[in-house]
Each structure stands twice: as structure tokens, then as C-alpha cells.
């Protein structure tokens, strides 16, 4: 399955690369999640669906753009064709394709893969088998306040608590692609990643990253401090706090 996800991610990479120089910001209608679909999202999604078709459509598909595609399979591929669309269109080299395979809810996801489309880094995980970055195992780090790095959404729609947390950290950052920021916590680069805002983050942005983080020894929670669970659906959204070290959660909740 990881091999198939790698092939899908490569197809997205090639499809986007081949359209460099075009204006990919044009809106192509509304996605299933109720937000506009940009041309770059459509190109990436079509590459995913074409690759699956070449393999006989072995998975159902849940996408923010196309909604649920029932291929009669037992498992569903949860996709964010371009996570960090704004970054991609603005020339900020931090955006990805996010792919997860499960049945009905976040906790039953068995496979996850995130490919950084700007630099080629691949994170992947199979449930019960650990998490990997470019084939090497990754683990979360122990929290050290003196070396802390928090990733926080700090835009105009952020909960004021986010700004309070930013002041707690030695360094605070926000990069604009949820899957990759979860991977940064999973790989021990950052201690915490939180989004507490309106609108909330979609399931498709979190599905693969949540598995990779959990397999690396971390956890993702809702803002009440309960382990985050989300059902598969294009309109499923939640705020969350992802941490590598559980003792940090106790300090910020």
C-alpha cells in the first residue's frame, strides 16, 4: 500500500511540475467542503484519480474537492491533493500532497503518506510499524522549555489563546500546511502544533499527519484535551493541539 501511495504522490508531483509557469490560481468551482477549488487543486486531484484508475480503483476516495467516490472497496483513500494551496500559489516552498488509507474514522487509518512537493521529502507510516522520513525512522522529542518550538496559527481568525501560547515558546512559527507541520512535530523539529480558529481544520488535512505523529510517539487532541477522533467526511472539521510530549499538553490546556 505504501508503494501505491508513493506512486500517487509522484503523479501529483509530476502533474504540478508540468504546469509550472501557468496561472494555477483560477477558481474551478466549489469543492465538496464548501470552499473554492483552485486550478492547482483540480490538477493534483485528477492525477490521483487517474493513478488509482490505472490500478483498478482499489480504494474509495474522500477528497475536499470531489467528495466521496464509492469504488466498492473496503478502505477509503483520504486525500488533500494540495495542502498549503496558498503557499503553492504564492511561491512559498511549503506545500504537500497528503494521503491516508482507512475505513470510517481517524483512529482506524492504517497507512499515511505526506510528500513535500517543494523539496521532495516523504513522510510515511503504517499503523503499528513506526514513522519514517525518507526511509529513516523518526521520533518525537522530549519537551524542553528552553529549546521549545511551537507551530501556531496566528492569523486574524485565531483564538487569542494562540498568542498567549506563542509567548510561552522560545520560538513560534506558522507555515501554512497542516500535514507538514504535523510531520515536523512527529520528527522532533517542533514540540507543538495548534490550530484554534474559525473555520476549523478539515479532516483531509489531518488524516495522514495524525497517523504519522501517533506512530512517532506523539498524539493529537481536541482543544478540550481529549484524543482527537474524526469521522470520514469532506465537511468534518476540528480545532486541535498536536504534541510530541504529553507533559506539554498538561501545561497548555
| Beta pairing class for 192-195 and 240-243 | antiparallel
Reply yes or no on whether the pLDDT at 253 is more than 90.
no
Q: What is the DSSP secondary structure assignment for residue 63, as one 8-state letter?
A: E
Distance of alpha carbon 41 from alpha carbon 28, whole angstroms: 9
Percentage above 70 pLDDT, the chain: 96
Asked if the peptide bond before residue 199 counts as cis, ω within 30 degrees of 0, the response is yes
Domain 145-252 has CATH 3.30.70.380: no
- 164, three cell numbers: 498567549
Given this model, what pLDDT does residue 32 score?
62
Domain 2-137 has CATH 3.30.540.10: yes
Given this model, what pLDDT does residue 33 score?
63
Tell me the whole-structure pTM to 2 decimals.
Answer: 0.94
pLDDT, mean over the chain: 94
Distance of alpha carbon 110 from alpha carbon 130, whole angstroms: 11
* CA–CA distances in Å: residue 133 to residues 14, 128, 222: 21, 16, 26
Torsion-angle region of residue 134: left (phi > 0), alpha (psi -120 to 50) or beta? left
- Which residue reads 522532533 in cell numbers? 188
Q: pLDDT tens digits for 80-135?
A: 999 999 999 999 999 999 999 999 999 999 999 999 999 999 999 999 999 999 99
Distance of alpha carbon 178 from alpha carbon 195, whole angstroms: 9
Q: pLDDT tens digits for 156-182?
A: 899 999 999 999 999 999 999 999 999
Higher pLDDT, 37 or 10: 10
- 30, three cell numbers: 466549489
C-alpha torsion sign, points 13, 6, 110, 124: negative
Q: Which residues contact 91 (CB under 8 A, 6 or more apart)?
A: none
Q: What is the DSSP secondary structure assignment for residue 231, as one 8-state letter?
A: B
Residue 24 — very low, low, confident or very high, per pLDDT cuts 50/70/90?
confident
- Are the CB atoms for 84 and 94 separated by under 8 Å? yes
Given this model, what pLDDT does residue 152 score?
97
Q: pLDDT tens digits for 27-61?
A: 666 666 667 778 999 999 999 999 999 999 999 99
* CA–CA distances in Å: residue 160 to residues 22, 196, 202: 38, 9, 21
C-alpha torsion sign, points 192, 197, 200, 205: negative
Distance of alpha carbon 40 from alpha carbon 15, whole angstroms: 9
Domain definitions of the chain by residue range: 2-137, 145-252
Distance of alpha carbon 178 from alpha carbon 153, whole angstroms: 10
Given this model, what pLDDT does residue 22 score?
75
- 124, three cell numbers: 510515511
- Which residue reads 512535530 in cell numbers? 185
Residues facing 171 on adjacent strands? 149
Amino acid at each position: 500500500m505504501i508503494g501505491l501511495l508513493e506512486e500517487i504522490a509522484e503523479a501529483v508531483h509530476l502533474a504540478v511540475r508540468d504546469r509550472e509557469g501557468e496561472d494555477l490560481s483560477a477558481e474551478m468551482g466549489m469543492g465538496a467542503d464548501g470552499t473554492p477549488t483552485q486550478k492547482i487543486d483540480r490538477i493534483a486531484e485528477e492525477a490521483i484519480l487517474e493513478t488509482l484508475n490505472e490500478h483498478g480503483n482499489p480504494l474509495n476516495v474522500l477528497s475536499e474537492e470531489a467528495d466521496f467516490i464509492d469504488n466498492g472497496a473496503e478502505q477509503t483513500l483520504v486525500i488533500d491533493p494540495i495542502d498549503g494551496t496558498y503557499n503553492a500559489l504564492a511561491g512559498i516552498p511549503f506545500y504537500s500532497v497528503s494521503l491516508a488509507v482507512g475505513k470510517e474514522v481517524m483512529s482506524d487509518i492504517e497507512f499515511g503518506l505526506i510528500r513535500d512537493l517543494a523539496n521532495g521529502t516523504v513522510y510515511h507510516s503504517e499503523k503499528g510499524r513506526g514513522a519514517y522520513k525518507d526511509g529513516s525512522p523518526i521520533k518525537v522529542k522530549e519537551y524542553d522549555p528552553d529549546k521549545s518550538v511551537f507551530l501556531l496559527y496566528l492569523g486574524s481568525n485565531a483564538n487569542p489563546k494562540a498568542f498567549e501560547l506563542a509567548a510561552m515558546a522560545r520560538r513560534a512559527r506558522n507555515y501554512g500546511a497542516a500535514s507538514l507541520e504535523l510531520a515536523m512535530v512527529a520528527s522532533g523539529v517542533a514540540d507543538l502544533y495548534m490550530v484554534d480558529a474559525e473555520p476549523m481544520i478539515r479532516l483531509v488535512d489531518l488524516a495522514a499527519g495524525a497517523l504519522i505523529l501517533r506512530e512517532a510517539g506523539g498524539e493529537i487532541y481536541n482543544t478540550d484535551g481529549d484524543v482527537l477522533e474524526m469521522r470520514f467526511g469532506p465537511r468534518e472539521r476540528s480545532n486541535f493541539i498536536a504534541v510530541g510530549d504529553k507533559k506539554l499538553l498538561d501545561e497548555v490546556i
